[in-house]
Amino acid sequence: MTDQSAPKERSGGEEVIAVDADDEPQGLVDRLEAHTGDGIRHRAFTCMLFDEQGRVLLAQRARNKRLWDTHWDGTVASHPTEGQTQIEATEERLEEELGVTPDQYGDLEITDRFEYKRYYLDEGLEWEVCAVLTATVTDPTLDPDPEEVGGTLWVDYEDLWENPRNYRQLRTCPWFDIAMRRDFRGDST
């Protein structure tokens, strides 16, 4: 069980890749600096793992996350490091956060990319060019890291989109909402 009184993570000292609106690298910036004040546009990704029944695996962000703590997200989301592809970064986060290894899923691919900027309370913001990746799980065995994940939930993806009132108790992350909206409206690339 995660200590609810633990301080929220502070991201200083780590670097993210600053990018222009076309996702072209503009150098490295401190992660905390990219997420505070007016923010700095940077590269990110979100991944949605699906099972063979069309359900998406949602993961609740741990309470110690500085931004969007306890909100529900697609399966994982993060930032690639310098020299790392979006696919490599996604594989790494799937294993670190959920204990899911590449032999448990297939067809991991980038399906979309979009830019967004959203503020979260008085804690900071996300200003990202976000790649969306998807894959299909053949072995749904999970081993979540409680420092990263507060809970997991398999949800029928179409039902989540078509009947949002049924899921209104799930506060979802803005990047997941955007990715899902773009997917169902046919805006994805």
Q: Does residue 189 belong to any structural domain of this protein?
A: no
Pairwise CA distance, residues 180 & 39, whole Å: 24
The CATH number linked to 97 is 3.90.79.10
CA distances from 24 to 5, 101, 108, 113 (A): 40, 29, 22, 13
Q: Does residue 4 belong to any structural domain of this protein?
A: no
Catalytic residue among 128, 147, 148, 162: 128
Domain that holds residue 36: 15-183
Pairing type for strands 55-61 and 124-137 reads: unpaired
The binding site consists of 35, 42, 79, 97, 126, 128
Residue 2 has pLDDT above 70, yes or no: no
Q: Does residue 78 belong to any structural domain of this protein?
A: yes
Q: Does residue 1 belong to any structural domain of this protein?
A: no
Tokens of 115: 């830019």
The string of pLDDT tens digits covering residues 86-129 is 999 999 999 999 999 999 998 999 999 999 999 998 889 999 99
Q: Does residue 188 belong to any structural domain of this protein?
A: no
60 or 188, which is more confident:
60
Structurally, how many domains does the chain consist of? Answer: 1
Q: Does residue 2 belong to any structural domain of this protein?
A: no
